[in-house]
Amino acid sequence: MITRETGSKFKFMSYTISIHGGAGTILRTELSPEKEEAYTNGLKMALQGGEDVLAAGGTALDAVTVAVSLLEDNPLFNAGKGSVFTNSGRHEMDASIMEGKALRAGAVAGITGVKNPVQLARLVMENTEHVLLSGAGAEELAQMFNLPFEAPDYFFDTFRHNQWLAVKDTSGTIMDHSGEKKFGTVGAVARDEQGNLAAATSTGGMTNKRYNRIGDTPIIGSGTYANNATCAISSTGHGEYFIRGVVAYDISCLMEYKGLSLREACEKVVLQKLVALGGEGGLIAVDASGNTELIFNSDGMYRASVKSGSKPLIAIYR
């Protein structure tokens, strides 16, 4: 917590950041203490990276970029290095980012080789007149700005590969973990000391996906949204339902036009409207006052959150 003097008045300044590593969880019976510790440490490291930015007076936009980049670098999470395999044995990644002050946004879809897709999404936002780029065109932009690329071996993970081998000759797709549902996406939302909001989301999609399938992650208003007047949202779940429900923007609209609180809006959308559609997953959210929600209708969600002056929350199950 930071208190700064402004004229004759004291103004209370605070920050908050929340992250997620996907909704749905490995079954408790299959999650060894070592694996649970690894997930917890991964969340802790990403949360700390984002908080360090905010504690130094940095922007919410920088904080979510750092946090999501760290999650992309961790092979435990289905984004960046840990991305799952498509039906053709490739990695197709999506990401988006948005800031709430001017409603600027950037997103990329179906990209390969880029080490940190969230950083490319930010390039789209800050260095082009566009919002969403895909495939080779987005990769060309990354090359122009010298973003790091990695060879296919960098993205290879034995667990992910075995998942793909089990279904590659079928027409089915599976989520992050076979045998139960885990929606592999990572994301972050933050409010900085200046009161600005930002959100970012990144994913490797579904194992064995075909036809260059794209989910909700790079779609502004569905997987990601930020508006200083209302909230910042990063979603994780079965993307088709989040697209149909325009989930992230729906929460903002309920706050703006119906006067609902962040909690009321999140509960209405995630626990009622999304469920009625048949959608499963969750999201993280922060509002203009720094209130946070980490809500899901699945068995769990890999999540962490911290506010200035408080101890961090890190959790997997309910």
Q: What positions carry a catalytic annotation?
A: 185
Contacts of 200 (CB under 8 A, 6+ apart): 64, 65, 67, 68, 95, 96, 97, 98, 118, 121, 122, 187, 188, 224, 234
Phi, psi (5° rounding) for residue 201? -145, 145
CB 197, CB 99: distance < 8 Å: yes
How far apart (Å, rounded) are the C-alpha atoms in residues 196 and 215? 27
The neighbour count for residue 107, using CB atoms within 10 Å, is 31
How far apart (Å, rounded) are the C-alpha atoms in residues 76 and 136? 27
How far apart (Å, rounded) are the C-alpha atoms in residues 141 and 280? 34
* Tokens matching residue 183: 């929606």
How far apart (Å, rounded) are the C-alpha atoms in residues 307 and 92? 34
Nearest to 194 by CA among 292, 62, 24, 25: 62
Helices first, then strands: H and E counts in the chain:
9, 14
Nearest to 305 by CA among 281, 283, 288: 283
How far apart (Å, rounded) are the C-alpha atoms in residues 281 and 276? 13
Q: Does an H or E element contain 37, and which?
A: helix 33-55
How far apart (Å, rounded) are the C-alpha atoms in residues 185 and 162? 19
Nearest to 57 by CA among 194, 190, 232, 188: 194
